[in-house]
């Protein structure tokens, strides 16, 4: 994995050449090394067999079926024992895909393709999954949280706690949440404890476990 002197090494897989080029430019402008850019999931897996990388950025829908090839590739990567970061990109906010992606383990992310036009968001997501963290697109999180019914645990949360929960699910640390919401760190820690208690979840410093547990709960609707 890259450190302060060694850039992150990333492979990109998407059948749309222009999008691949756009992603590559954003990452390279941020000092990330793109070691390969391919058009199919099979080509991606071939690269990973031969080239050490820190992360892969790939489309969910690719040839030949344009359905869930990217998610299947992620599952094959994890089944092979690889712990590289994997960031899945999608045209649509599909909570079911997000839950499947997060269920593959730590170092995974689900982001809408429109975020490519937001360089800082894309770069942060790649860096997060490469370091073992997890990322879920804010629009997907909003859909998941918005599904709550009156009798759901989510309905017990205050408006502020819901905002904190959304950032938790996007992979933010407590410090990142504090900065985003202009709150003190101890205030955020209090909110997080309250959220986990109301949802019946054990507190954990493992950010992936927090995100996965929350998403799994929200996905049970």
Q: What is the pLDDT of residues 162-198, one digit of tens each?
A: 888 888 877 788 898 999 999 999 999 999 888 888 8
The residues, ordered by sequence, that sit 6+ positions from 4 with a Cβ below 8 Å of its Cβ are: none
Rounded to whole angstroms, how far apart are CA atoms 23 and 123?
Answer: 9
Rounded to whole angstroms, how far apart are CA atoms 112 and 136?
Answer: 9
Closest by CA position to 87, among listed 46, 144, 30, 125: 125
Question: Between 69-79 and 41-50, two packed helices, what is the crossing angle to 10 degrees?
Answer: 20
Q: Is the pLDDT reported for residue 221 higher than 50?
A: no
Closest by CA position to 108, among listed 44, 145, 55, 144: 55
pLDDT, position 214? 65
Rounded to whole angstroms, how far apart are CA atoms 83 and 105?
Answer: 9
Architecture of the domain made up of 141-218: Orthogonal Bundle (1.10)
pTM of the predicted structure, to 2 decimals: 0.77
Residue-range domain boundaries for the chain? 9-136, 141-218
CATH class of the region 9-136: alpha beta
């Amino acid at each position: 994995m890259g450190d302060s002197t060694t850039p992150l090494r990333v492979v990109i897989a998407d059948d749309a050449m222009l999008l691949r080029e756009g992603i590559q430019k954003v990452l390279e402008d941020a000092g990330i090394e793109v070691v390969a850019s391919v058009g199919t999931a099979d080509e991606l897996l071939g690269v990973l067999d031969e080239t050490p990388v820190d992360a892969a950025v790939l489309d969910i829908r690719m040839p030949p079926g344009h359905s869930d090839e990217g998610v299947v590739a992620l599952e094959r990567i994890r089944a092979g024992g690889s712990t590289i970061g994997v960031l899945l990109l999608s045209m649509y906010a599909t909570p079911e895909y997000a839950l499947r992606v997060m269920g593959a383990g730590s170092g995974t992310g689900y982001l809408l393709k429109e975020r490519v036009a937001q360089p800082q968001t894309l770069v942060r997501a790649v860096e997060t999954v490469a370091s073992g963290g997890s990322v879920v697109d804010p629009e997907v999180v909003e859909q998941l949280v918005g599904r709550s019914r009156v009798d759901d645990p989510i309905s017990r949360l205050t408006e502020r706690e819901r905002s904190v929960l959304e950032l938790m699910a996007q992979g933010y640390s407590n410090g990142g949440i504090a900065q985003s919401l202009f709150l003190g760190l101890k205030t955020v820690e209090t909110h997080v404890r309250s959220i986990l208690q109301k949802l019946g979840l054990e507190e954990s410093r493992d950010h992936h476990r927090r995100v996965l547990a929350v998403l799994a709960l929200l996905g049970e609707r």
